[in-house]
Structure formats: structure tokens, C-alpha cells
Amino acid sequence: MLDQPFSRAASGHPRPSAQRGAALLMAMVIVTLVSTLAASMVWQQWRAVQVESAERVRSQSAWVLSGALDWARLILREDGKNEQVDHLGEVWAMPLAEARLSTFLAADGNNSATDSDDSPEAFLSGKVDDAHAKYNLRHLVDGVTTNEAEVKVFKRLLEFLSLPPSLADGIAAAMTKAALAEASFASSDPALLDKLGGEMGRSQAPLMPQSFDQLLWLGLDAGTLEKLRPYVTLLPTAETKVNVNTAPKEVIAAVVDGLDLARAARLVQARQRKPFKATGDLFEVLGHAQPEWDFNRLDVKSEFFEVKGRLRYEDNVIEQRHLVQRQPGGSDVLVLQQSRFSGLDRGADGATPP
């Protein structure tokens, strides 16, 4: 019988090439796992650094903007002590154009920062707006009823802004329902609930907005809200008047029945030369052709102001808005409301916050 040739496969021992292939595959699996773990660790470390950096920027920006707010309050307080008239020629009305934060720190002799530092620069800007330069929508509601006279005023303003006057009726009706709902919860008078149409009507009533941006609760769209922003506000009280020294011509013409935009523009031009010290001074510009003009909705001093601050750090932007109230005689300036935006630079005008 012939001898059979020797076979490694038959003997049960793997070939050397198969062993090398298995070892190479195992090595590749190990390298892949190590690379994945290393990449995950690097990503987690990067994320932790980014979170820490963002938190540091947030904390530092809060301190900077808080200091800017205190500075604005100081200016308003001193102005209230020394001036009885508020106008756009005063220090508080001058906006702070965007400037490098190191510019403000340069006055500190202990500060070692120089323009040659490689650290990213921060830029600060801000301004103070007179809230009395706008029409206060709080006038539309008197207690729990609609103030029809003020609705007519608001309609005139909407016409000057090329917006539908019917918008005034809708806003006034919604604010009246909100006022009725609030009053019905605070009182046991069933008549208030009946005006709302019972429990169902009260549950469907909107919440009373406390700030301008919350007017969205009344059904306004964002586009209409932005058109109204330069001319309309929502203050905590209806006991306010429009400052003729700071208001735009559209608002002045709206609150004075019979006054057109041309005459209101004359008032705006006249106050640039010399601010009005009393509403009676308006007759010097308009004449006495219509002595029945009612200037009771106008004044020459202000109580509420909007303080806006904007800090830009690299491509991050932090904006803050505060509604402040100056006490009589400038004894104090109270912060009533605050809103904050934080995000990437939207390419807005860097000189002043929106």
C-alpha cells in the first residue's frame, strides 16, 4: 500500500498564515477600540473646556453688564437731582458706541493688560432710552373697562405708522379681558365673571402682559411687534405721560387731537434748538390758532427709562435690557424688569443694542 502524503489540515494544527491573520485582525480591533476611546476622551475634554469657557464668559459678562447698569442708574439719579426737564441733550441720552473693554480698564493703574495681549477682546456698548417717548398701552384699560378715548389715540398712532387701526380694538379687547380675569380671581363679585362669560370665558382669557415682548400673548405677530417697538411701550402703571422733548413726531401727533405730523415735526425741530421747559411753550411754536388743543397727555419730564447693554466677546453676544424707575427728586433708581439674550453675533449694529 502506498503511503498517503502528510496533511497539516488533517492533523488539526492551523497553518502559520492563518495564525498571523487572526493576530492581525485582533490587533486591528484593539487599535480601533483604543482610537475610539481616545477620541471620546478628547471630545469629552474639549466639551468640558468649552462649557467652562462659556460659563466663565457668562459670569464675567454678568459682572460687566451689572456695572454698566449701575453706572446708568447713577447718571439718571444725578440728573434727577439737578434737572427738572428731561431731553435728548442730556448725558443719559448719549449712547455708548461699541468700545473695547480694555479702554475702560486702561484708567486702572493696577491693570497690566495691554493692546499687545493675545487674549480675545471684549466690546461693550449700550444706551438709555426714555420710556416716556413711547405711547403706553396701559392707557387702553381703565380698571376693568376699555378706555375708548385712549383707543382713539392709539388708532391715530397706528394710522401714522401705516398699520391697520383695527389693531387697537383687538389689543384693547384682549387687555380688558385679561384685566377682568385678574379682577375676578381677586374678587368674589359674580358680575366680573359674568362679563367674561362664566368659567369658560375666564379660562380662555389671555394673561395680562407685563412687558412689551409679552404682547405676543395677545395674538400679535413678531413683525407687527417690531414695527410698534420704537413707538409703543407697556409700563407698570397708566399714570404716565408722553415726554414732548423725547418722543417721535408720530407719538406726539397721536396724543394731541387735531395735531398733524407736519406740526409735530415742527415741535421736534424746535426742541433740538431749545428743549421745552413746560407744555405751555408749545404754543410759541404752534401759535394760538387752535387754543383748544389739549396737551394734558404731554409732559417735559420722565420717570421710566430703558437701560440697554450689549457685550460682544469673539462671536458671542450677551444683551440685557432693564426697565428702571427714577424716584422723585432722583433719590433712587429702581430696577423693575430685566430681559436677557445670549447667543452668537447676529450681525446687528454694534454701536447700540437693538
Q: Domain segments of the chain: what residues?
A: 55-106+121-132+303-344, 138-220
Confidence of residue 348 (pLDDT cuts 50, 70, 90): very low
Average pLDDT over residues 295-323: 92
In this predicted structure, the answer to whether residue 16 has a pLDDT above a threshold of 50 is yes
Cβ–Cβ under 8 Å, residues 72 and 335: no
The answer on pLDDT for 83 being more than 50 is yes
For residue 4, is pLDDT > 90?
A: no
Query: Under CATH, which number does the domain 55-106+121-132+303-344 receive?
Result: 3.30.1300.30
Under 8 Å between Cβ of 305 and 327? no
State mean pLDDT over 174-195. Answer: 86
Going by their DSSP bridges, the two strands 304-313 and 141-142 should be labelled as: unpaired
Residue 354: the pLDDT is 43
Residue 117 pLDDT exceeds 70: no
Q: Pick 21 or 346 by higher pLDDT.
A: 21
Name the percent of the chain lying above pLDDT 70: 85
Average pLDDT over residues 255-281: 95
Q: Which of 3-17, 67-81, 275-289 is predicted most confidently?
A: 67-81
| pLDDT value at 8 more than 70 | no
Region 99-103: what's the mean pLDDT? 79
Looking only at the bridges linking them, the beta strands covering 242-243 and 298-299 are parallel
Integer Cα distance of 291 and 310 in angstroms: 45
Distance CA 81, CA 332 (A): 10
Q: Does pLDDT of 109 surpass 80? A: no
Q: If pLDDT is split at 50, 70 and 90, which confidence band does 343 have?
A: confident
pLDDT recorded at residue 305: 98
User: Would the pLDDT of 108 be above 70?
Assistant: no
pTM of this structure: 0.79
Higher per-residue pLDDT: 59 or 298: 298
Determine which helix (DSSP H) or strand (DSSP E) holds 75, and give its type and residue range.
Answer: helix 16-82
Determine phi and psi for 131, rounding to 5 degrees: -70, -20
